A and B are shown apart, each in its own frame.
Chain A
Amino acid sequence: MAERRKYKKRFCKYCEAKVDFMDYKDVAALRFSLSERYKIMPRRLTGNCKRHQDMIATVIKRARAAALVPYTVTRKTVVTAPFENLK
């Protein structure tokens, strides 16, 4: 419940910005829908609509395949600053 209160269910940010297409190479834009451990955040926490959640899910999976975003972050493979090489 504590986590649910932290993310109040709200409007879809992508709908408000009128996002039609997401680029998997733009890692900074994907950060919103990723958790601290780089899991895809559920819709009930981010407030994304179904359409944009489907889009972001495919885009994140593409970015994972391209080694732009990690699949998992465990205690063994701690990433101190994963986006340090971003400009």
Chain B
Amino acid sequence: MRNYENLVIVKPTLTAEEIQANISAIEEVITSNGGEIAARDAMGMRKLAYPLGKNERGYFHVIYYSVAPSAINEIERRFRINENLLRFVTIKYDTNREVTAWNQLVQKAQKKATQPAGEAKVEAEEVVIPAALEEDAE
């Protein structure tokens, strides 16, 4: 098992649900080839530095995973078939220094993934408080 990182750019013309469906299909390709997804980082819709097939924007998604090196060929082949993918970049993390960097990146991505949930909780509490005040007024 070796650590990898994949950045995929999904077509911006799709709807939000279609983009999510595409990303789950991409992750399914990795897991079906024996990969273990450690973390994912949705960078969201961004402007591209140069147009890719007449598209000026793209939906960026990063997946950190570990898989046997022989499976990478198959994963990339499946990515090339997918027409909704504008571009993908596979990075190998092999040396000790790169593996520690990979672990840090995974932790960072996991933190980022949990933080919006925390914000959502705060919002939920804010919603609860006015309701309680209204009950007091009654």
Contacts and interface: CB of A to CB of B under 8 A. Distances in A.
Q: Do A and B bind each other?
A: yes
Interface string A39-75: 0000000000000000000000010111111110000
A84 B49 CA distance: 11
Given A84-B47, A85-B47, A21 B98 contact: yes
Indicate the size class of the contact surface on chain A: 10 to 19
Interface string B43-56: 10011111010000
Q: Is the interface of A mostly helix, strand, loop or mixed?
A: loop
A62 B91 contact: yes
Nearest to B89: A66
B46 A85 contact: yes
Identify which of B49, B52, B89, B105 gathers the most chain A CB atoms within 10 Å of its CB: B49
B58 interface: yes
A73 B48 CA distance: 13
Interface of B: 7, 9, 43, 46-50, 52, 58, 62, 86-87, 89, 91, 97-98, 100-101, 105
Q: Which 6 A-B pairs have the closest CB atoms?
A: A21-B101, A70-B49, A67-B48, A66-B89, A85-B47, A67-B49
